[in-house]
Chain A
Amino acid sequence: MNFFDQQLARKRQSALLLVCFAIALVATGALIHFGVALVSLLLGQSVALFEPSVPALVLIGLVWTVILFGAYFRSLDVKAGGAILARRFGAVHASDRSRYEKEQQLLNVVAEISIASSTPQPDVYILRAESSINAFVLGAEERQGHAGRYAIVVTQGALDNFDRDELQAVVAHEFGHIANGDLPVNMRLLIALGGLMAIDEVGQLLVGEEPDSLIHPGVLVGYFVIGLGSIGVFFGQLIRSAFCRQREYLADACAVQFTRNPYAMASALAVIKNHTEEPALHSIHVKELAHMCFQSGKGKAWFNRLLASHPHIQNRIDAIDPYFDVKQKKLAEKLNPGDESGVSGVSHLTPEKTIITTSDLPIGSELSDSAVVMLADTRNSVATLFALFASENAIKKRDYLSAISFAFDKQFSSRVKDVIGLIPDELSENKLALIELATIKVCQSVERSGRQSILKKLESLLSVSGEYDLMAYASLQLIRGKLDLEFPLIDTLADDHFAQGRHTKAFDEMGSEFALLLSLMIESSGASSSVQAYEFERVLKCYTMTQYPRRTCHETGIVAEVAEAFQTLYVQPKAIREAFVQHCVEIVQKDGHVARAERTLLDLFAASLGCDEHVA
């Protein structure tokens, strides 16, 4: 298609858009009129079919005003340029010299593709709060004399899930839209949709993401507004479907022309295909933005396919490389030769399945029969929990046992002593399995309050006996987690009056906590000191810019600090905690060998941070 044909096509599309918009306005008015007429019919009043009543006229006027103002404000944003628009949708500017490796990579990739496509470099924006995988490009229309400034927006989910080549392919696709001249029409479409969907967005805002109560007046109004807005949404989607979906194929083809790497493009699409649980975009602007995003999710029903803004993902993959699935399978087999099924071998390319779990790590050897039989009794199980903390030193052990007899009675103390005598090897070698089995039994037969008092007794015993080192703390916290008790149970930590206030810290101020926990984790990994230092620096960089010294578990008072660090971390959003546990798992698996101390510490971290499902 040459330049003149393209210009003509663009003019035709703009005219079509204007006509559609006008029709949508009229149709909205008609629908409101009939709605009001229906209500007054039900109320038993006479109705003129082609003469809108006064309330209908007022409502139509209101809706039209909102739509026109919505479109007007969107058009102001569009005129102001891509950067302003990107900020309007909540994106932040990606900065050079960023502390996130991925962000630097994105900037580099954009620079590379702008060279490959001979396009001026656009501004780069990131939607940080978006876990969905998507990207789009915004920009003002070219004005007389100087080209419009573009902004390319990428979601955080895309940064997290794509590798470098895939990111490059997605960015190239967006550049394909620029090179094909899709932006002017896309921007006009954005203005029209911005108007038609403004009412719906107001309703979404009123209802909120998860309404606390369904009968709150604000929420009720919100649902009414959404109902009103759904007319606009319907017509908006109809308009969107009138525009050619072939542009996506064209942009995909352009992306391949720029990168000369069809495999990466297909693999990026495959990543999205396998991410079934994520919507295309979480933002409330999703309906406005859908037509220019990299992907629009998957519609299964026929009407979804009819109204979809994008072709089906599998069709796009097939258009780029019909044999992609076969190639991917072959590659996966080459990488994991032991994997015979092939189907599960693909999983290394689909990020949601690559979450490393520790379930495949060795838990330790099986328990002996005598231990299993013994732990079938509840009292023995409780005694075992206490026996776990008995010292190997004979004098210390005697003190510990006498403390137990003081806290409970002589009978229980001798039972603990019996347990120690019966399974001395397992107590020192196989703590994890013992804790696992004993806590299951205790959970089954002891009530919650009883379990709480057991844990409190254990905690006070430990602080008295002076055996409160990091491993003891780890075991205690693990037991706490397995007994299904709340985290801030332990009294001694909470007696500080200001403790609660101190524990709610902002993410930026938590560098020292992260540094402390990470250094302990890394220390237990048993790698060489240079590798430890490097790992520490690499992972810490993800959390804070400030340099913190590495700590060791031999420092005095470290347990109290660790406990406090956990309390601080525990109130952080789940995503942060999960990311942290994920890093710890990576550290542990780095050398391909999982030591017992590592495993214990890891379980402790996960349990203390409420991310147990990763370590299940």
Chain B
Amino acid sequence: MSATLLTVLAGVVLLIAVMVVYNRLITLRNQTSNAFSQIEVQLQRRYELIPNLVETAKAYMAHESETLLAVTEARNEASSRCNAASKNPDDASLIGALASAEGALTSAMGRLNVVMENYPELRADAQMRDLGEELASTENRVAFARQAYSDSVMTYNTAREQFPAVIVANLYSFKEADLFAAEDPAMKQTVKVAFA
């Protein structure tokens, strides 16, 4: 009598424990996917801003069409890969491709920034100043979105790998989340500045 009651009681406690752990993992996983979509939103914002920047810069630096072209191409490449990645969010290779395209865009922008130093009139342009603040803010937003994503991935992965949770996680196939990192070592290097 008491043995069956004890078994039932233990079963109920186990069920509740599994439920709590499962719900916590679900919450954390949704938080990571939300954080990732936030990166996409901010990247799109950046892609929309870059053509404006290039248009404004064109008026002042006609001789630097190569740099501007490189920025535009890198932007288009990154934009299309971002769209592809957002359609298949589970595909890790697409995210890796996006990360490397982003790296290329960042270095192209870095080069553009260096070149722009030589055009004081451009930096003095009123529209350019507004764009400058927008761009600085967007860069911050992209960086913060990635940071928030990394933080939430870390929280999720830690929760997933800890002892009682790891059983539940494997039982219901909670996959490990990926960090948004540049895979290609060439993309990690800093922008080189050559003085002609």
Contacts and interface: CB of A to CB of B under 8 A. Distances in A.
A116 B147 contact: yes
Interface residue tally on B, bucketed by range:
20 to 34
A164 B140 CA distance: 11
A113 B124 contact: no
Interface string B23-51: 00000000100110010001000000000
Given A104-B133, A534-B124, A538-B126, A118 B141 contact: no
A258 B133 CA distance: 20
Contact of B141 (A104, A115, A117, A534): A115
Of A111, A112, A260, A530, the most chain B CB neighbours within 10 A belong to: A112
Interface string A108-150: 1101110111100000000000000000000000000000000
Contacts of B147: 116, 260
B32 to A, nearest CB: 10
B121 interface: yes
A365 B4 CA distance: 106
B148 A112 contact: no
Contacts of A108: 133-134, 136-137, 140
Contacts, number: 47
A530 B38 contact: no
A112 B46 CA distance: 13
A101 interface: yes
B137 A115 contact: no
Contact of A258 (B125, B137, B141, B144): B144
Question: Chain B: interface secondary structure?
Answer: helix
A292 B37 CA distance: 33
B38 A115 contact: yes
A531 interface: yes
A430 interface: no
B122 to A, nearest CB: 11
B157 interface: no
Given A117-B148, A118-B152, A112 B126 contact: no
A459 interface: no
Nearest to A113: B144
Contact of B137 (A101, A111, A118): A111
A531 B144 contact: no
B145 interface: yes
A112 B124 contact: no
Contacts of A164: 136
B148 A118 contact: yes
A109 B42 CA distance: 14
Of A112, A115, A118, A260, the most chain B CB neighbours within 10 A belong to: A115
A117 B152 CA distance: 10
Interface in B114-165: 121, 124-126, 129, 133-134, 136-137, 140-141, 144-145, 147-148, 152
A161 to B, nearest CB: 18
Interface in A39-98: none
Contacts of A112: 137, 140-141, 144
B31 A101 contact: no
B158 to A, nearest CB: 14
A537 B126 CA distance: 8
A105 interface: yes
Interface in B76-108: none
A124 to B, nearest CB: 14
B31 A118 contact: yes
Question: Chain A: interface secondary structure?
Answer: helix
Contacts of A534: 124-126
B119 to A, nearest CB: 12
B137 to A, nearest CB: 4
B120 to A, nearest CB: 8
A164 B135 CA distance: 14
Nearest to A114: B144
A109 B139 CA distance: 12
A513 to B, nearest CB: 22
A93 to B, nearest CB: 19
Of B34, B134, B136, B140, the most chain A CB neighbours within 10 A belong to: B140
Contact of A531 (B34, B124, B133, B148): B124
Contacts of B126: 534, 537-538
Contacts of A530: 121, 124
A115 B144 contact: yes
A115 B147 CA distance: 9
Contacts of B144: 112-113, 115-116, 258
Contacts of B141: 111-112, 115
A510 to B, nearest CB: 22
Interface string A512-540: 00000000000000000011001001100
Nearest to A164: B136
Contacts of B136: 108, 164
Nearest to A109: B137
A545 B42 CA distance: 31
Contacts of B145: 115-116
Nearest to A534: B124
Nearest to B125: A534
A306 to B, nearest CB: 37
Nearest to B152: A118
Interface string A159-175: 00000100010000000
Nearest to B149: A118
Nearest to A259: B144
Nearest to B121: A530
A448 B125 CA distance: 51
Given A115-B42, A116-B147, A531-B124, A101 B133 contact: yes
A115 B124 contact: no
A168 B144 CA distance: 12
A168 B124 CA distance: 25
Contacts of A538: 126, 129
B118 to A, nearest CB: 16
Nearest to A260: B147
A295 B41 CA distance: 34
A115 B137 CA distance: 12
Contacts of B124: 530-531, 534
Contacts of A113: 144
Contacts of B140: 108, 112, 168
Nearest to B38: A115
A168 B139 CA distance: 14
B133 A118 contact: no
Nearest to A533: B124
B68 to A, nearest CB: 22
A115 to B, nearest CB: 5
A116 B146 CA distance: 8
A344 B145 CA distance: 39
18 contacts: A101-B133, A105-B133, A105-B137, A108-B134, A111-B137, A111-B141, A112-B141, A115-B38, A115-B141, A116-B144, A116-B147, A118-B34, A118-B35, A260-B147, A530-B121, A534-B125, A538-B126, A538-B129
Interface of B: 31, 34-35, 38, 42, 121, 124-126, 129, 133-134, 136-137, 140-141, 144-145, 147-148, 152
Given A115-B141, A116-B144, 6 more contacts: A105-B137, A112-B144, A115-B145, A118-B31, A168-B140, A534-B126
Which are the 7 A-B pairs with shortest beta-carbon distances?
Answer: A116-B144, A108-B137, A534-B124, A112-B140, A115-B144, A115-B145, A118-B148
